[in-house]
Amino acid sequence: MRAVLDTTFRSLRVRNYRLFAVGQLIKLIGVWTMFTAQDWLVLDLSGNSPGALGVVTALQFVPVMVLTLYSGRLADRYDKRKLLVVANTVFAVTAVAFAVIVASGIVQLWHVFLFALLFGIANSVETPVRQAFVSELVELPLLPNALALSAATFNTARVGGPALAGVLLSVLSIRVVFLVATVLAVAPVLTYLRMTTAELYGIERRSRGEARVLDGLRYVGKRADLVLPIALMAVIGMIGFNFPVTLAALAKINFHAGASSFGLLTTALAAGSLCGALAGSGRRARPGAYRVIGAALAFGVIEFAVGFAPTFLVAALLLVPTGFFSIYLAQAANHRVQMGVDAEYRGRVMALYVLVFLGSTPIGASLAGWWGEHYGVPSSIWMGGLVSFVAAVAALAWQLRASGDRLVFRMRPRPRVGLISTEAAQEPAPVAPAEFAAGRPASGSESDALRSRREPAPVIRS
C-alpha cells in the first residue's frame, strides 16, 4: 500500500505542486458547488427549461472560443504564475458580485446569463495557462503523474462540490450556497502567491519572438500524432460531454427528483471520473493512440446506455463508468498532447486543445438543450454517446490506415481482439528537462534516453 501511494501521489512531494493542487481543490469545490446551485436556480427561474440550461452553459464557454488561442500566446510569452493570479482574482471578484445579487433576492434569469459570460471570460484565460503551467511545476518524468493528479483534483471537487451543494440546498437556502462558494474561490490566488519562483522549471523566458498563434497552428498541422487526439476530443467534447445541461434536466424533469438527488447524479459521474483520473496517475510514458481511441469507444457505448436508463438508480449506477471513461479518455488525450509537444509551443498547443475540447461546448450545449426540449432529455444523452462512438471508430480507422496496423479477431482459446502493429511512424520525442529547466541541465544519459523514446516495437497485443 505504501508503494502504491508513493507512486500515485509522488508529485505532491514538490512544494509548488502541493500549493497548486490545494488551491485548485478548494476553488473547484466552490465552483462545482456554485454551478450545481446555478443549474437549479436556472430551472426555477425558467420554469424547468432545458433550453435555458443550454444557454447558460453555452455562455460560459463562448469566451473560450474567442479568447483561448490568444491566452495560449500569452502563456508562451509571459509569466504563467502572474497570469493565473490575475485570472483567478477576476474570477473571485465576479463570484462575489454574483453571490451578492443572489443573496439580495433580486436575481433574474438575465443576471445568471450575464455572470455565466463573465465567468467564461475569466476561465478562457485561466484554463490554457493552467494546463501549460503544470509543466513548470515538476520535472518531465513527473509530468504524467502531475497531470493525472490535476485531473484527480478536478474530479474530487466534482464529487465534493455537488454533494456539498445538495446538502446545503436541502437544509439551507440557495443564497447560502453561493456565499460559501464565493469564500472558496479566493484560495488559488493565495497559493499562487506563496509559490517559490526560483523552483519553477522554465521560469527564465527564452527569446520567443512574437509567439504567434498561427505558428502554433502550423506546428500542430505538421504533427499527425497531435492532430488525432485533438480532433477526437473536439467531437466528443462538443457532443458527448454535455452533462451540465442534461443531468439537471434529467433529474428534475424525467425522474422528478429534488436538488439533493440531482447532486447525487453529478456525484456519481464525478466519483467515476475520480477513479479514472487515479487509474492514469501511475503512467510514466506518453500513452499510445490506441489507448486514447479505446477509451473513447468505451465512453461512447456507456453514455449511450445512460440515455436508456429506466430509473434514477440505474442512471446513477451507469454514470459511474461513464465518468471513469470520460476522464480516462480526456486525461490520456491530454497526456499524449502535453508529452509530445516542444516546450516553446506548449502554451499555444494546449490553448488549441482547450479550444476544441471546451470551446466547442457552446455549440454542443445549445444543441443538447434544443434537442432535449424537442425530443426529450434521454435522447440527447444517448445521441451524444452514439456520436462519440462513431467518432472513435473513425479515429481508429484513420490510425490503422496511417500506421499500417491491423486488427485481428480470434475465437480460440477465447474470444479476443488483437492488434498487429507494423513499424510505427517515428514521433518527436518529449522535450527533455534540460530544454525547459531553469539552469538544471539533464545528464547526457537522461537526455539521450528521452530523445530516443519511440513507439513500441511491432507486437501483437490483445
pLDDT single digits (tens) 313-322? 898 899 999 9
Bridge partners (DSSP) of residue 418 are: 408
278 within 8 A of 152, measured Cβ to Cβ: yes
Three state DSSP letters for the chain: CHHHHHHHCHHHHCHHHHHHHHHHHHHHHHHHHHHHHHHHHHHHHHCCCHHHHHHHHHHHHHHHHHHHHHHHHHHHHCCHHHHHHHHHHHHHHHHHHHHHHHHHCCCCHHHHHHHHHHHHHHHHHHHHHHHHHHHHHCCHHHHHHHHHHHHHHHHHHHHHHHHHHHHHHHHCCHHHHHHHHHHHCCHHHHHHHCCCHHHCCCCCCCCCCCCCHHHHHHHHHCCHHHHHHHHHHHHHHHHCCCHHHHHHHHHHHHCCCCHHHHHHHHHHHHHHHHHHHHHCCCCCCCCCHHHHHHHHHHHHHHHHHHCCCCCHHHHHHHHHHHHHHHHHHHHHHHHHHHCCCCHHHHHHHHHHHHHHHHCCHHHHHHHHHHHHHHHCHHHHHHHHHHHHHHHHHHHHHHHHHHHCCEEEEECCCCCEEEEECCCCCCCCCCCCHHHCCCCCCCCHHHHHHHHCCCCCCCCEEC
Q: Cα-flanking dihedrals φ and ψ of residue 446, to 5°?
A: -65, -45
- The predicted model gives 95-106 an average pLDDT of 87
Q: Using the predicted structure, report yes or no on whether residue 8 has a pLDDT greater than 60.
A: yes
Confidence at residue 269, expressed as pLDDT on a 0 to 100 scale: 83
Model confidence, pTM? 0.66
pLDDT for position 433: 39
Q: Is the pLDDT assigned to residue 397 strictly greater than 70? A: yes
Categorize the per-residue pLDDT at 443 as very low, low, confident or very high, splitting at 50, 70 and 90: very low
Res. 381 pLDDT band, cuts 50 70 90: confident
Read off the pLDDT band of 288 (50, 70, 90).
confident
Is residue 257 over pLDDT 90?
A: no
Question: How does residue 392 score in pLDDT terms, banded at 50, 70 and 90?
Answer: very high
CA–CA gap between residue 329 and residue 292 (Å, rounded): 6
- Of 15-19, 140-144, 367-371, 455-459, the range with the lowest mean pLDDT is 455-459
Handedness of CA 153, 158, 164, 168 (dihedral sign): positive
For 378, residues 6+ apart whose C-beta sits below 8 A from its C-beta are 250, 254, 307, 308, 309
pLDDT at residue 296, as a whole number: 93
Check residues 122 and 267 and name the one with the higher pLDDT.
Answer: 122
Which pLDDT tens digit goes with each residue over 113-167? 999 899 888 888 888 888 888 888 888 778 878 877 887 777 677 666 766 777 7
The pLDDT value recorded for residue 359 is 60
Task: Say yes or no to pLDDT of 431 above 60.
Answer: no
**Mean pLDDT rounded to a whole number for the chain:** 77
Q: Is the pLDDT of residue 424 over 90?
A: no
For residue 439, name the pLDDT band (cuts at 50, 70, 90).
Answer: very low
Q: What is the pLDDT of residues 43-77, one digit of tens each?
A: 888 887 777 877 887 788 778 777 877 887 787 78
Q: What are the structural domains, with CATH classification, of the chain?
A: 2-196+215-403 (1.20.1250.20), 405-462 (no CATH)
